[in-house]
Amino acid sequence: MAQLKIEISKDNNFISESEIQQMQDKLISAQKALLEKTGEGNDFLGWVHLTSTIDEALITKIISCAEKIRKQSKVLVVIGIGGSYLGARAMIDALSHQFSGLLQKELTIVYAGNNLSEDYHADLLDLLDEKDYSVVVISKSGTTTEPAVAFRILKKHLEEKYGKEKTKGRIIAITDHSKGALKKVSLNEGYETFSIPDDVGGRYSVLTPVGLLPMAAAGIDILKMMDGAKAMEKICCSETAIKENPAMLYAAIRNVLYTKGKSVEILSNFQPCLQYFSEWWKQLYGESEGKKNKGIFPAAVSFTTDLHSMGQYIQEGQRNIFETIISVEQSKRKLQIPSDEGNLDGLNFIAGKNIQYVNQKAETGTIIAHNDGGVPIIKISVPIIDEKSLGELIYFFEFACGLSGYLLGVNPFDQPGVEAYKNNMFALLEKPGYENLTEEIKKRL
């Protein structure tokens, strides 16, 4: 049984019950298109039943590989960009000790190939000079520029540090099952490999080896995460009434608000460890919906921190925004605010209270303030930040994204727009085959 709850009471001034119910038939059609694979992008719907059909032998292999990484390394470098690393990073950050890298009691996870900063990668090599490390490189093609550059650098570094033969046991490739540059080099060099399913796109791949292997290496119980996702899959795929299906309800609310001019959605949370969950969510919705000059712009803030910066805009800026809050009911640890004899800060009135209690009052106060300021609010609650709750959240947002994209009239499973910058970059780098574009751009410059 799923634990996630969605609350819309704060939207009553902005959306009527009848407006939500009017979406029922469209949502059932969208749900049917996802389940029967009749809509646009239907060749990338392998994620829909992934959690209920995943091979147990694959999970066993992932856990075994993760244990090997943990035994031989102090650092794991995850090479990937976009969906190839954001999901894993989101879950690892959410579930790990927030100062694990400094405590160095467990394997430290770091990331490469998600940018083209020379300083970043040079600094990374300084770290790796001093630590035993392994690499998980994630790329379906093996030719995406950012991860391919990082892999070249780290492959060379590994071979110089450990020798070519020992390097084989320190590189794991997650790539296409049969073709592509990374698959070819893995076969040639003898790296252990895992396959990215052909029918799962990058931003929906967190519950494939793409996300599961780095998470397992970080010590996360991936079986519990899959159980949470499976519970949400059952609801999203079987329930047809909006009020009984949280993904339908979320898709309905955000699309009704979009028709009312609310073109920016801000994902908010009150837990710093969810910062990269927001980054994963931004890619999922931005890359899925931003097409044909349509789409809700996904933004994110971390409270209470950003209440002292972006809070002013949310409260009194343009009224083209709505807010979705991920609310966590319980903290994993307990810490009370002490009493102070001098009480110069005036906080003795909350002495003896747990910080979570104060954080919850800040959240409630924020909801009231933003709602009074004209911001519709969707509240998504989970009991605690653990594997099961995050598994539910992953599947909930993925399924709602598919529904929402179909309601919007776009293909939520392609990303044609991301090629524009790549073509220009290749032309400026004078890559063979781009001569005409190179000449054209040079004239413009």
182 by DSSP, 3-state: which? helix
| Residue of 332, 422, 430, 435 with catalytic role | 422
Separation of alpha carbons 125 and 422, rounded Å: 26
Q: Which residues does 52 contact at the CB level (< 8 Å), separation at least 6?
A: 230, 233, 234
The token pair that represents 437 in the structure block: 């574009």
Strand duo 264-269 + 192-195: pairing: unpaired
Length of the chain: 445
Of 71, 105, 308, 443, which is the active-site residue? 308
106 is catalytic: no
Q: Is 228 exposed, middle or buried (0-12, 13-18, 19+ CB in 10 A)?
A: buried
Question: Are the CB atoms for 407 and 35 separated by under 8 Å?
Answer: no
Residue type for 407, please? L
User: What is the distance between the alpha carbons of residues 47 and 395, in angstroms, rounded to a whole number?
Assistant: 9
Which amino acid is present at 94?
A
189 is catalytic: no
Neighbours of 355 (CB within 10 A): 14
Buried b (16+ CB within 10 A) or exposed e, 164-175: eeebbebbbbbb
My answer on whether omega of the bond before 304 falls inside 30° of 0, hence cis, is yes
The answer to whether residue 329 is catalytic is: no
Catalytic residue among 192, 279, 287, 323: 287
Q: How far apart, in Å, do the first and last CA atoms of the chain sit?
A: 58
Catalytic amino acids?
287, 308, 422
